[in-house]
Amino acid sequence: MGIKVLAVDDSRTIRDMLALVLGEAGYTVQTAEDGQDALDRIDDFEPDAIISDINMPRLDGFGFVQAVRRVERYRATPILVLTTESAPELKARARAAGATGWIVKPFDAEKLVRALQAIAG
């Protein structure tokens, strides 16, 4: 089955692009439309890595990352933040919440796959 990636973004276009790019790279992808949707799906999917936007309704990326890190089985799961934001203070906040890395949108497919390979194999 390969490595499973949970991709969380409120933009259907971004979710579809992530599913396509990561699927072509051999990953099994589950998408979620915001942090709450992702938390509702995470235990059924049990991802090996997570990619999450920051600015989302219901539960934003910071809250989602913090919630994931509170669950024992996901404490070491790599989490890449994928967002239009690039401010250093937001990167620091994401790291403090438990994010593993940060990629700014629009993303380059090859760079995204390389970053995912670096953190999740």
Interval 18-52: pLDDT, tens: 999 999 999 999 999 999 999 999 999 999 999 99
Considering only CA atoms, which of 112, 37, 44 is closest in space to residue 78? Answer: 112
Which residues sit opposite 89 in a β-bridge? none
Please state the domain count of the chain.
Answer: 1
Question: Looking at residue 102, what is its pLDDT?
Answer: 92
Asked whether 50 and 119 are in contact (CB, 8 A), the reply is: no
Asked whether 64 and 52 are in contact (CB, 8 A), the reply is: yes
**pLDDT level of residue 2 (50, 70, 90 thresholds):** confident
Domain containing 54 equals: 4-120
- The per-residue pLDDT for range 84-107, each reduced to its tens digit, is 988 999 999 999 999 999 999 999
Is residue 120 scored above 90 in pLDDT? no
Question: Looking at residue 1, what is its pLDDT?
Answer: 53
